[in-house]
């Protein structure tokens, strides 16, 4: 019997950190406003700063969709507006992380993909160009000596994952946005504790804000007490900067450098439908076996390394040679994240290229549909040139305001011939991108600003892999269980249209 999810209070450590952040912001803005009132000519200086800030925003290389809301804030809130911009607009990784990242990457591995790219070029120049671009902007390598298994049911994936964890001999690396105490996590934790006793190197990374309401504030100490090397990603300390951006939304499990798991699922009971939140929770995941796992190992080591006080040595046998009976197409696991680690928007570029190369169909499942004009236009263009574009979103949302934003895009997309479906059994959390029976991208990437711009994400792009037929079968089943949205059904009141327009303006900041 499913249980309703209980509300969990936020631990005091997080409340204290958020309080410090709020007080810091109020103090900074308050001091500047006071100086404007009591110091001669300071107000004129503040107005000059506001003008310079406006020019800076307009002249920046940011997407226009991101510039507009900040311009609105700066112009309608004199002094306060540009102060908020300077405090919160940064989406770049801190310099102390960048230096450490370079050191960590040097100590992982540098794989040549020349042989794989030559083979891909002989198969399809379009696919070759797609993967070449992804390799350049993400630093990922191309693999053929690997295979992928697709799971449309996370409960089945859980069973397989636990079995694989039990087989570990050298190391286990787990990295998740959310970990929550319960059946799913406990089934894994019990194995981890036993493996530590056997000498296996077990490491866990979880996002500090992602687990704010799912784990005790000092849970990393609890895990370390078991012998597990556990750290929260970007620990919340209370700082008026980009601390609330650049969260780690990745979902990675690596066993002995030979087996890896990823997908939309976190390690919590709603993902295996033991706890009900928003109807049936639909998700998916993949199991990868072979050399492509190396890319996940590298991503984990980087994320673990930038959060430790001292740089740890890369364990031996992290990148073992793996014998695979038959190759499963071309596979490229990749990471995405903030600048300067990722100078370009990796996931967005992949999705745009998939849309541009599609000839017959593009099927997308996503929990959120909050996209900039570039991506919106690419989706429209694919449909307008005759490609069957279908997008599935939830019918039962997890965040009502976000769902309002999602629905604000319906009318324009439907006008271009895009078919939109709402998954009626419950919440659609799977992040699936499928094109022409040729390409599939599975991972953690949502179609919203936070995922495409702010967060650390990961995905797997594949071409001509056997598991793609299983992805298609699952997506078609999802569509059959969903309600198609018709344009004539979109009858919003004047107030609803105003709210939709307002939230769309500020969507890039949320």
Cβ atoms of 509 and 69 within 8 Å: the answer is yes
Q: Is the pLDDT of residue 218 over 70?
A: yes
495 within some domain: yes
Instruction: Please tell me whether residues 166 and 47 are part of one structural domain.
Output: no
Please report which confidence band the pLDDT of residue 441 belongs to, taking 50, 70 and 90 as the band edges: very high
Please report which confidence band the pLDDT of residue 491 belongs to, taking 50, 70 and 90 as the band edges: confident
Residue 43 token pair: 């107000």
Nearest 10 degrees: Cα torsion 43, 46, 51, 56:
180
C-alpha to C-alpha distance for 153 and 393, rounded to whole angstroms: 18
Instruction: Please tell me whether residues 392 and 494 are part of one structural domain.
Output: yes
C-alpha to C-alpha distance for 200 and 202, rounded to whole angstroms: 6
335 within some domain: no
Q: Is the pLDDT of residue 8 over 70?
A: no
pLDDT 10s digits, 269-313: 999 999 988 999 999 999 999 999 999 999 999 889 888 776 666
pLDDT score at 68: 80
Residue with tokens 């310099």: 95
Cβ atoms of 331 and 217 within 8 Å: the answer is no
Mean pLDDT, rounded, of the chain:
87
Mean pLDDT value across residues 149-169: 97
The region that residue 257 occupies, defined by phi over 0 for left and psi between -120 and 50 for alpha, beta otherwise, is left
Strands 361-365 and 388-394: parallel
Domain boundary among 300, 328, 356: 328
Residue 255 token pair: 């066993």
Domain boundary among 278, 298, 328: 328
Please report which confidence band the pLDDT of residue 92 belongs to, taking 50, 70 and 90 as the band edges: low
pLDDT score at 51: 87
Instruction: Please tell me whether residues 166 and 295 are part of one structural domain.
Output: yes
Instruction: Please tell me whether residues 158 and 305 are part of one structural domain.
Output: yes
Mean pLDDT value across residues 322-335: 88
Of residues 351 and 238, which shows the higher confidence score?
Answer: 351
339 within some domain: no
Instruction: Please tell me whether residues 83 and 109 are part of one structural domain.
Output: no
pTM of the entire predicted model: 0.89
Closest CA to 271 of 392, 368, 158: 158
pLDDT score at 2: 60
Residues 6+ apart with CB under 8 A from 158: 184, 187, 272
Instruction: Give the containing element (helix H, strand E) for 13.
Output: helix 12-38
303 within some domain: yes
C-alpha to C-alpha distance for 4 and 276, rounded to whole angstroms: 5
C-alpha to C-alpha distance for 44 and 419, rounded to whole angstroms: 53
Instruction: Please tell me whether residues 286 and 376 are part of one structural domain.
Output: no
116 within some domain: yes
List, in sequence order, every residue forming a beta bridge with 143; answer none if it has no partner: 331
Domain boundary among 293, 328, 363: 328
pLDDT 10s digits, 397-420: 887 778 888 888 898 999 999 999
Angle at Cα 355 formed by Cα 350 and Cα 359, nearest 5°? Answer: 135
Residue with tokens 């040549």: 112
Instruction: Please tell me whether residues 173 and 287 are part of one structural domain.
Output: yes
Instruction: Give the containing element (helix H, strand E) for 444.
Output: none
Closest CA to 202 of 335, 322, 315: 315
Mean pLDDT value across residues 121-143: 94
Closest CA to 154 of 267, 259, 271: 271
483 within some domain: yes
Cβ atoms of 422 and 483 within 8 Å: the answer is yes
CATH number for the domain harbouring residue 198: 3.30.870.10
Domain span including residue 43? 3-88
333 within some domain: no
Residue with tokens 């350049």: 136
Domain count, the chain: 3
Angle at Cα 11 formed by Cα 8 and Cα 12, nearest 5°? Answer: 145
Instruction: Please tell me whether residues 75 and 216 are part of one structural domain.
Output: no
Burial track 191-230 (b if 16+ CB lie within 10 A, e otherwise): bbeebbeeebbbbbbbbbbbbbebbebebbeebeeebbbb
Mean pLDDT value across residues 409-432: 95
Closest CA to 332 of 43, 134, 35: 134
From residue 241, give the alpha-carbon distance in Å to each of 166, 188, 244, 295, 451.
Answer: 42, 35, 8, 31, 19
Instruction: Please tell me whether residues 75 and 102 are part of one structural domain.
Output: no
Closest CA to 104 of 288, 237, 299: 299
Instruction: Please tell me whether residues 83 and 152 are part of one structural domain.
Output: no
pLDDT score at 367: 95
Q: Is the pLDDT of residue 14 over 70?
A: no
Closest CA to 418 of 484, 489, 371: 484
Q: Residue 118, class by beta-carbon neighbours within 10 Å (0-12 exposed, 13-18 middle, 19+ buried)?
A: exposed
Instruction: Please tell me whether residues 109 and 198 are part of one structural domain.
Output: yes
CA 474 to chain centre: 22
139 within some domain: no
Instruction: Please tell me whether residues 412 and 367 are part of one structural domain.
Output: yes
């Amino acid at each position: 019997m499913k249980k309703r999810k209980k509300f969990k209070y936020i631990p005091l450590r997080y409340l204290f950190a958020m309080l410090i952040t709020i007080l810091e912001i109020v103090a900074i803005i308050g001091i500047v406003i006071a100086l404007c009132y009591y110091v001669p000519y300071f107000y004129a200086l503040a107005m000059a700063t506001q003008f310079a800030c406006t020019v800076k925003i307009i002249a920046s290389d940011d997407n226009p969709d991101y510039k507009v809301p900040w311009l609105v804030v700066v112009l309608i809130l004199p002094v306060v507006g540009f102060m908020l911009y300077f405090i919160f607009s940064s989406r770049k990784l801190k310099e102390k992380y960048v230096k450490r990242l370079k050191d960590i990457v040097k100590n992982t591995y540098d794989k040549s993909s020349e042989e794989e790219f030559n083979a891909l070029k002989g198969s399809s120049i379009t696919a070759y160009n797609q993967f070449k671009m992804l390799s350049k902007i993400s630093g990922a390598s191309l693999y053929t000596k690997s295979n992928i298994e697709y799971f449309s049911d996370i409960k089945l994936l859980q069973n397989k994952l636990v079995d694989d964890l039990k087989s570990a001999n050298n190391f286990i690396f787990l990295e998740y946005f959310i970990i929550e105490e319960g059946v799913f996590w406990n089934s894994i934790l019990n194995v981890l504790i036993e493996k530590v006793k056997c000498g296996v190197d077990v490491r866990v990374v979880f996002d500090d804000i992602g687990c704010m309401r799912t784990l005790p504030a000092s849970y990393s100490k609890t895990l370390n007490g078991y012998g597990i090397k556990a750290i929260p990603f970007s620990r919340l300390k209370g700082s008026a900067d980009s601390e609330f951006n650049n969260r780690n939304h990745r979902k990675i499990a690596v066993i002995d450098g030979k087996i890896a798991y990823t997908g939309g699922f976190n390690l919590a009971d709603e993902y295996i439908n033991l706890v009900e939140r928003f109807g049936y929770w639909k998700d998916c995941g993949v199991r990868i076996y072979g050399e492509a796992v190396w890319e996940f190992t590298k991503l984990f080591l980087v994320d673990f390394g930038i959060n430790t006080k001292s740089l740890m040595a890369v364990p031996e046998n992290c990148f073992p040679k793996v014998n695979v009976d038959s190759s499963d197409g071309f596979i490229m696991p990749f990471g995405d994240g903030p600048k300067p680690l990722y100078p370009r928007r990796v996931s967005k570029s992949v999705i745009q290229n998939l849309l541009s190369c599609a000839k017959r169909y593009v099927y997308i499942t996503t929990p959120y549909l909050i996209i900039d004009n570039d991506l919106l236009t690419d989706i429209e263009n694919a449909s307008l040139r005759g490609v069957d574009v279908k997008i599935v979103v939830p019918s039962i949302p997890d965040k009502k305001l976000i769902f309002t934003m999602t629905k604000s895009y319906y009318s324009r997309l439907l006008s271009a011939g895009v078919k939109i479906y709402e998954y009626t059994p419950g919440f659609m959390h799977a992040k699936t991108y499928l094109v022409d029976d040729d390409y599939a991208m599975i991972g953690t990437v949502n179609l919203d600003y936070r995922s495409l711009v702010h967060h650390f994400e990961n995905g797997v792009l594949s071409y001509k892999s056997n598991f793609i037929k299983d992805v298609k079968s699952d997506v078609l089943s999802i569509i059959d269980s969903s309600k198609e949205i018709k344009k004539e059904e979109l009858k919003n009141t004047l107030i609803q249209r105003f709210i939709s327009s307002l939230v769309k303006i500020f969507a890039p900041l949320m």
